[in-house]
Amino acid sequence: MKLTKIANQLNEDISKYDNFLILPHVMADGDAVGCCIAMARYIKSRGKKALMVMEEKVPYIYSFMENSCDIEIYTPAKTYNYDICIAIDTGDIKRLGKRKILFENHISYNIDHHKTNDGYAVYNYVNEDVSSSGEIVYEIFQKMKASLDHDIAQALYVAIATDTGGFRYQNTNKKSFIISARLMDYELNIEKISEWVFERTNMNKLHLFENTIQNIRFHCNNRVAVSTLRTSEYMHLDVTDEDFEGLVNIVKNIEGVEIGIFLRERPDKKEVKGSLRSNTDNVDVSLIAKAHGGGGHARAAGLISSKSIDAVYTGIIRSLNEVYKCTE
């Protein structure tokens, strides 16, 4: 679907229907949380009911936006009454976790920027040429001539700022700055937002840093760096999924490294979560991730696997050995 078409369709549906569910992907990041808050708050401003339904609670670093809209953690036993379901920043239906059942038999929207998106909704808008879903949601609002407010602008700014790594990653483009500049019209407190989202740390996170650095191993003439965290290494710490965000950057940022990979065991779910980053146009990590059950972007991709951490590690290195034509 084209941007104008999805915007018109959504505009009509907001006028026509009363109850909306807004869904970010599992282990929601700043883009997903920000976009969903913006969308839920906007729909509510049109006098309709909009509930953002999360798989897990809002990560602490985004909790300062929690009161901007109605948010709940998904309860399978509960009956949700709604007409329309909107997934944002969610590359495929599996990324909705247990909530994928909410998507069935309803009018559904899929608004996203992951190039591996397979168009799983009734109405799909996927644009892989933008930095973030935040840019897309902003443009949809523009087309709809939506009136924004401080909290909507703040949520969209967080979406764009986090997916661009604070306007540092390769996906940062002119439009990311222009849209962010326009959002500044709503008197955003950039210092406060940045402190919440980018600056804060704690002792538990420092322990994760320490172990991540200790476990770094190199492959393919030091062009590939991998670090791992096993459950046994962090079970004693009071950490949640969000505390592992960004650890992949430790390996990605090493001088000379082209591919940085971070793998960790998730204790409760008996699965392995992997983050893959590429510093080069020569290697598209979304293809490597896809080959191992994940997806994402050329420079940043991820996967969740039910195999052992050693099996995932070996499999990924085997794929990269083929790409780099090396043997270790």
Toward Mn ion, which CB reaches closer, 137 or 320? 137
- 265 binding Mn ion? (CB under 5 A): no
Q: How far is the CB of 327 from Mn ion (least distance, A)?
A: 35
Beta bridge mates, 73? 54
Identify which range of 28-36, 48-56, 135-143, 175-183 contacts Mn ion by CB under 5 A: 28-36
Toward Mn ion, which CB reaches closer, 31 or 92? 31
Q: How far is the CB of 133 from Mn ion (least distance, A)?
A: 5
- 163 binding Mn ion? (CB under 5 A): yes
Sign of CA dihedral 237, 240, 241, 242: negative
Q: How far is the CB of 229 from Mn ion (least distance, A)?
A: 23
CA distance 296 to 306: 18
Helix (H, G, I), strand (E, B) or coil at 41: helix
List C-alpha distances in Å: 288 to 274, 284, 307: 11, 7, 16
Element (H, E) at 324: helix 309-324
Toward Mn ion, which CB reaches closer, 31 or 284? 31
Q: How far is the CB of 36 from Mn ion (least distance, A)?
A: 11
Toward Mn ion, which CB reaches closer, 94 or 207? 94
Identify which range of 101-109, 132-140, 171-179, 286-294 contacts Mn ion by CB under 5 A: 132-140
Sign of CA dihedral 85, 87, 93, 99: negative
Toward Mn ion, which CB reaches closer, 252 or 297? 297
- 112 binding Mn ion? (CB under 5 A): no
Rg from Cα positions in the chain? 20
Q: How far is the CB of 113 from Mn ion (least distance, A)?
A: 6
DSSP category for residue 80: P
Query: CA angle 263-27-305, nearest 5°?
Result: 40
Contact 223, 258 (CB under 8 A): yes
- Which residues 199-238 are close enough to bind Mn ion by CB under 5 A? none
Toward Mn ion, which CB reaches closer, 13 or 89? 89
Q: How far is the CB of 65 from Mn ion (least distance, A)?
A: 16
User: Applying CB under 5 A, what is the total number of residues that bind Mn ion?
Assistant: 5
Toward Mn ion, which CB reaches closer, 41 or 114? 114
- 135 binding Mn ion? (CB under 5 A): no
Beta bridge mates, 70? 51
- 31 binding Mn ion? (CB under 5 A): yes
- Which residues 82-111 are close enough to bind Mn ion by CB under 5 A? 89
Q: For residue 216, give every residue at least 6 positions away whose Cβ sits within 8 Å of its Cβ, in sequence order, or none.
A: 225, 226, 227, 250, 251, 254
Helix (H, G, I), strand (E, B) or coil at 326: coil
Beta bridge mates, 111? 88, 125
Toward Mn ion, which CB reaches closer, 110 or 132? 132
The residues of the shown chain that bind Mn ion, judged by CB under 5 A, are 31, 89, 132-133, 163
